[in-house]
Amino acid sequence: QKEVEQDPGPLSVPEGAIVSLNCTYSNSAFQYFMWYRQYSRKGPELLMYTYSSGNKEDGRFTAQVDKSSKYISLFIRDSQPSDSATYLCATDKAAGNKLTFGGGTRVLVKP
């Protein structure tokens, strides 16, 4: 079993819809939780990070972490075709950037 599990999708939504992404993890030592976006033929770029449990909002993006259930979520409001990409969740035991990634979810936002 992988330490971080993520539904591979693809997830297809109409423009303007809310995109809901999630991951589960097994190691309770993870303290930092990130969401990355990866476009085709590009490296991942950080969207948001959260330390421990709680919610964090940045523009159209909201990240949630529930450490009691080992569940990570990302919500994208008012989705745009430019949001079409692979979204990767990642975890870290300390702020050391030795990340454990989920497998990624492909998202397609249709105009």
Partner 1 sequence: ETGVTQSPTHLIKTRGQQVTLRCSSQSGHNTVSWYQQALGQGPQFIFQYYREEENGRGNFPPRFSGLQFPNYSSELNVNALELDDSALYLCASSLAGNLKGYNEQFFGPGTRLTVL
CB of 13 to partner 1, least distance (A): 20
CB of 53 to partner 1, least distance (A): 15
- The DSSP-derived string for 6-75 is E----EEEETTPPEEEEEEE--TT--EEEEEEE-TTS--EEEEEEESSEEEEETTEEEEEETTTTEEEEE
Pick the closer one to partner 1 by CB: 12 or 78: 12
8 A C-beta contact, residue 62 and residue 78: no
Pick the closer one to partner 1 by CB: 18 or 46: 46
Pick the closer one to partner 1 by CB: 9 or 71: 9
* Chain residues in the site for partner 1 (CB under 8 A): 4, 6, 8, 32, 41-46, 49, 51, 88, 90, 95-104
